[in-house]
Amino acid sequence: MEPVIETFESRKKHMCVKGEGISIPVCDKASLPGTVTQRTCVFGGARIVLMPITDSIHLVHGPIGCAACTWDIRGSKSSREDLYKKGCSTDLQEKDIVFGGEKKLFETVLELYNIYKPGAIFVYATCVSGVIGDDIKAVCKKAEDLTRCKVIPVQSEGFQNHNKTKGHWIGGDALLDYVIGTKEPEETTPFDINIVGEFNVAGDLWGIKPLLEEMGVNIISAISGDSHADEIAQAHRAKLNIVQCQKSSNYVARKMEKKYGIPFIKVNFFGLEQTTNSLREIADFFGDQEMIQRTEKIIERGLKGVEDETREYRKRLEGKTVALYVGGNKAWSLVRAFEELGMNVMMSGTKNGIKEDYERIKEVVQDGTIIVDDANSTELARLLKKYRPNLLISGAKEKYISLKLSIPFCDFNHDRISAFAGFKGFVSFAKEVDASVSSPVFNLASKTLSKVSKTPSNLGGDENAS
Amino acid sequence: MSVNVMERERTAIINPLKTCQPLGAMYVVTGIRRAVPLVHGSQGCSTFVRYSFSRHFREPSEIAVTSLHEDAAVFGGRRNLVEGLQNVATRLEPSLIGVITTCSSEIIGDDVIGFIKTAKDELKKKIGEKKTEKVKIIPISTPSFVETHLKGYDNAVKALVDHVAEPSEPNEKINIIPGMVNPGDIREIKHMLRLMNLEGILLTDISDPFDSPLRPSATEFKPYYPKGGTTVEEIVDSANSSGTISLTKYAGSGALSLEKKYNIPAELGPIPIGVKNTDQFLRNLKKITGQDVTDEILDERGLLIDSMADLASRYLFDKTVAIYGDPEITSGIARFVGELGMVPKLVVTGANNQEFVKDMKKVGKETGAEIDTMVGQDLRAMEVYLKDNPVDLMIGSSDARLMAKEYEIPLVRVGFPVYDRVGYHRHPIVGYNGGIHLIDLITNTVLEKYYEPEHWKLQQ
């Protein structure tokens, strides 16, 4: 069998084609040293899960770089505070490395508390605090006793694991161990839920929340988009958890099921069919006839007009191919949404997939789809060059690799500026995808210089030139 | 006429104005043709910097990493570094690999020089002696818990000249260490050298690697490297130049090292921002090379002065400014706004550096302004200050954009990072042309806020 692309021997099995016998790539292995991996560290994984908590201070206990390169990059919107956007660091120096950074951490926590009186202070461990052995837990405890403000240790030493998923779990553990269950709600209803794994990137939560509220569901907390620590503290009283980003947050939902007996269902608000199914499943779960009827009305109203509003986009996108190379959940949750636009997903891959993730991808993609694990930048460039999709969906680091190969790109990561979730989100999604795929720039970009000079009359629109 | 130095009274850093050493080193290695930065640390150490570069320059950024994990923290990172070097060398066939350490690899005490030797021995067995010798492997020590990204920049340039430069015949060229500036600035520096009929060796030149054309034909080469950058041969040749000018006195170790080892005269700073600083740069060039300032350059100087005369007294005089960012750039801008008759009321830098205080004293003396100077500070300190002492204008990176909005102070974007507007990395702020660009930027920003369109029309 021909390899998917030319690469290191040990990397070949990290790529496969669905339908050709083996359908799941080798995964969850350490990246090859010396490659330009698209992966991040465990600290990064924990930080992105917790950072959307808006009323909290997120304090990075390490040298300045860990905080300086990651503050305010999440793209999570807030309807209230913007405390979560502050970049806070203990700025560990050489003397702290030698004598330990606990005292400095303690002072820093107190200073931040005194300035901001935040809802909570999350303290993130980094590689350095791990290697020098600072007891972050003890410092947090001491600071919490003194301030009566939640000071939460997040044991996210960067090098703990090759897979940032571990960081998501560590972030989840911080919530499970120190936040959830620490406050009782004033009132409860039979229809209390949490939205787990929804980070309100570009305001996605705000596309979903009104639909759910109209159904008659009471949202105790979103974990963790646009939320307050205080709200998450009451999450244990929910009757149901709905999980949007299953990559990062099944872990939290499972643990809450075990600890508090809260059942969970997996939802997906990207795409029409998925949104509709998710709303119905929630209504079915509660089994309340009025809610079921209301839900049908919401769906009917939601779908109405979407077809008209997306017709032009779908016309242009019909038959176009798309490659996904994303951070987990989206590798399968977006597939149907693209099919609804008339596009074919020809490749799906993730940076930190575990076996369960690839099972999900395999389930939803067509035969012949390339599935890749942890493609480094050279491999990604080769995949794009060899298979030339009409669109790449990924994040900021991959964006310019794609554009340099004159392959249209659409952001589905932190830097996204339009909300894509729910019915209205689907229209924005179609619009943005179309804006990328149909941009005339790429007709110019696909010309090589020799072709331009040989056929000067043929400067635009020739699809065959590449 | 005085400078009031304000040091940080807090332990916490809130909204940093600096980052750590490895970022500066990655910037330097990216400016070498067919070179690969190899970060010896956690994946986040390379990934987040790549993200920062991509966000600012809107370009891909190839930075490899040895992917240290827990076992490395216990047993050392030897296997990762040796394997990583082999993978980079065989797969990417680079001209040079800069091995950039991080806090973790520094703390666990990895013997990077020893590991490089082992990797080379292994490589020789694999790909032969000749091919192995073709790849220069340079250790760059950048402990993240010491100083700032500028120190990492400095260490990287020094490591390059120390390991690569070799004396032979004098070449009549001039070495330039540009500091952490933008592609537009580097192009302007090269333009000035051309007008002076001089050939320069940039240590190093990120102008093309961080601003490269979209030409599919170029990406067909295997493996792909962006065009441009300083060649390794040029770095070898830097030991034969007539002199070295570091445009930043905060990162001049490479220049001093060349001076000490090969007797090549070094000049450190200032960055050529504004009239006096650019004059000084040209005088330094003349001093080292004996080359006279050409008429074309004097014309460009005249154009800058002309635009200053057109605009300064009418719109800019006496406007107060808060400037924040890297020490060299902020001090250059403080001097330039002083030349325009504006008042540099507050200058803030994240570095803790006494040289910077001296610089500010000089600017204070020249402008007669009372400059509040913050060293080792963060953006929170600036915010507290502005709350009580509002200014007319802010000049610095995108990181204070929310503050600018909240306090309704217009912001001129300069420095690193700028990610909420486009084009800022393309246009120079150095040299006379950079001065013209900067004065246009500043004046238009001032007009927008302080002069209503109709009014302005009458007054022009």
**Beta carbons of B42 and A132 less than 8 Å apart:** no
Cross-strand partners of A370: A17, A347
The pLDDT value given to residue A375: 94
The pLDDT value given to residue A462: 40
By Cβ distance, the residue of A69, A94, A108 closest to B49 is: A69
* Residue A162, C-beta contacts closer than 8 angstroms, at least 6 positions apart: A28, A29, A30, A31, A39, B43, B67, B69
Q: Which residue of A has its CA nearest to B92?
A: A378
Indicate if the pLDDT at residue A459 is higher than 50. no
What whole-number distance in Å separates Cα of residue B307 and Cα of residue B40?
48
What spatial distance separates the first Cα and last Cα of chain B, rounded to whole Å? 33
A211 to each of A12, A268, A276, A278, B74, how far by Cα in Å?
A: 45, 13, 11, 11, 51
Cross-strand partners of A321: A344
Q: Which residue of A has its CA nearest to B54?
A: A397
The pLDDT value given to residue A447: 59
DSSP assignments along A380-411, one per residue: HHHHHHHH--SEEEE-HHHHHHHHHTT--EEE
pLDDT band at B458 (very low <50, low <70, confident <90, very high): low
Work out the minimum CA distance from A97 to partner chain B, whole angstroms: 8
Q: Which of A57, A69, A164 to probe the B interface (max B CBs under 10 A)?
A: A69
Contact status, residue A49 vs residue A36, Cβ threshold 8 Å: no
Coil, helix or strand for B406? helix
Work out the minimum CA distance from B444 to partner chain A, whole angstroms: 28
Higher pLDDT: A329 or A214? It is A214
Q: Which of A261-270, B102-111, B217-226 has the lowest mean pLDDT?
A: B217-226
Contact status, residue B288 vs residue B174, Cβ threshold 8 Å: yes
The pLDDT value given to residue B459: 65
- Give φ, ψ of B423 to 5 degrees: 95, -15
Q: Which residue of B has its CA nearest to A10?
A: B87
Share of chain A above pLDDT 90, in %: 82
Work out the minimum CA distance from A391 to partner chain B, whole angstroms: 16
Q: Which residue of A has its CA nearest to B143?
A: A94
Contacts of B66 in chain A (CB under 8 A): 33-34
- B389, two tokens: 């002492």
The pLDDT value given to residue B2: 75
**Beta carbons of A87 and B144 less than 8 Å apart:** no
The pLDDT value given to residue A445: 73
As a whole number, mean pLDDT of residues B370-390 equals: 96
- Helix runs in B128-182, H state only: 129-134, 149-164
pLDDT band at A328 (very low <50, low <70, confident <90, very high): confident
Work out the minimum CA distance from A356 to partner chain B, whole angstroms: 23
Q: Which residue of B has its CA nearest to A96?
A: B145
pLDDT tens readout for residues B250-260: 999 999 999 99
Size of interface A-B (CB pairs under 8 A): 232
Indicate the angle between helix axes B274-289 and B295-311, nearest 10 degrees: 170
pLDDT band at B438 (very low <50, low <70, confident <90, very high): very high
Averaged pLDDT of chain B: 94
As a whole number, mean pLDDT of residues A298-312 equals: 95
The pLDDT value given to residue B247: 97
The DSSP letter of residue A236 is G
**Beta carbons of A159 and B54 less than 8 Å apart:** no
By Cβ distance, the residue of B60, B91, B402 closest to A401 is: B60
The pLDDT value given to residue B451: 86
By Cβ distance, the residue of A40, A68, A86 closest to B44 is: A40
Indicate if the pLDDT at residue B214 is higher than 90. no
Q: Which of B329, B335, B322, B323 is nearest to B367 (CA)?
A: B335
The pLDDT value given to residue A465: 37
Share of chain B above pLDDT 90, in %: 88
Q: Of the spans A7-21, A402-416, B64-78, B226-240, which averages the highest pLDDT?
A: B226-240
Indicate the angle between helix axes B78-92 and B112-127, nearest 10 degrees: 40
The pLDDT value given to residue A449: 53
Secondary element (H or E) of residue A196: strand A192-198
Q: Which of A98, A127, A128 to probe the B interface (max B CBs under 10 A)?
A: A127
Share of chain A above pLDDT 70, in %: 95
pLDDT band at A464 (very low <50, low <70, confident <90, very high): very low
Coil, helix or strand for B348? strand
Secondary element (H or E) of residue A43: helix A42-50
**Beta carbons of B84 and A73 less than 8 Å apart:** no
The pLDDT value given to residue A327: 80
What whole-number distance in Å separates Cα of residue B142 and Cα of residue B101?
5
The pLDDT value given to residue B90: 92
pLDDT band at A448 (very low <50, low <70, confident <90, very high): low
Indicate if the pLDDT at residue A106 is higher than 60. yes
Q: Which residue of B has its CA nearest to A107?
A: B11
Secondary element (H or E) of residue B374: strand B371-375
Contacts of B12 in chain A (CB under 8 A): 59, 88-90, 107-108, 111-112
Q: Amino acid identity of A428?
A: S
As a whole number, mean pLDDT of residues B160-171 equals: 97
What whole-number distance in Å separates Cα of residue A267 and Cα of residue A275?
8
The pLDDT value given to residue B216: 63
Indicate if the pLDDT at residue A460 is higher than 60. no
Half-sphere exposure for B183 (CA within 13 Å, toward CB): 21
As a whole number, mean pLDDT of residues B264-285 equals: 97
B285 to each of B36, B40, B242, B245, B289, how far by Cα in Å?
A: 31, 38, 10, 8, 6
Indicate if the pLDDT at residue A466 is higher than 60. no
Dihedral class, residue A89 (left if φ above 0, else alpha if ψ from -120 to 50, else beta): beta
pLDDT tens readout for residues A340-370: 999 999 999 999 888 989 999 999 999 999 9
As a whole number, mean pLDDT of residues B91-107 equals: 95
What whole-number distance in Å separates Cα of residue A188 and Cα of residue A190?
7
The pLDDT value given to residue A446: 62
Indicate if the pLDDT at residue A442 is higher than 80. yes
By Cβ distance, the residue of A32, A96, A396 closest to B55 is: A396
Averaged pLDDT of chain A: 92
Q: Which residue of A has its CA nearest to B399?
A: A72
Secondary element (H or E) of residue B452: none
Contact status, residue B131 vs residue B94, Cβ threshold 8 Å: no
Work out the minimum CA distance from A278 to partner chain B, whole angstroms: 34
- Share of chain A residues as helix, strand and coil, in percent rounded to the nearest 5: 45, 15, 35
Structure ipTM: 0.95
Q: Which residue of A has its CA nearest to B218?
A: A448
pLDDT band at B217 (very low <50, low <70, confident <90, very high): low
**Beta carbons of B83 and A32 less than 8 Å apart:** yes
As a whole number, mean pLDDT of residues A25-46 equals: 92
**Beta carbons of A59 and B10 less than 8 Å apart:** no
Higher pLDDT: A72 or A299? It is A299
**Beta carbons of B18 and A396 less than 8 Å apart:** no
What spatial distance separates the first Cα and last Cα of chain A, rounded to whole Å? 27
Give the sheet arrangement for strand B266-268, strand by strand.
B200-202, B174-177, B243-246, B266-268
Contacts of B67 in chain A (CB under 8 A): 30-33, 37, 39, 162
Secondary element (H or E) of residue A157: none
The pLDDT value given to residue A451: 55
The pLDDT value given to residue A19: 87
**Beta carbons of B14 and A112 less than 8 Å apart:** yes
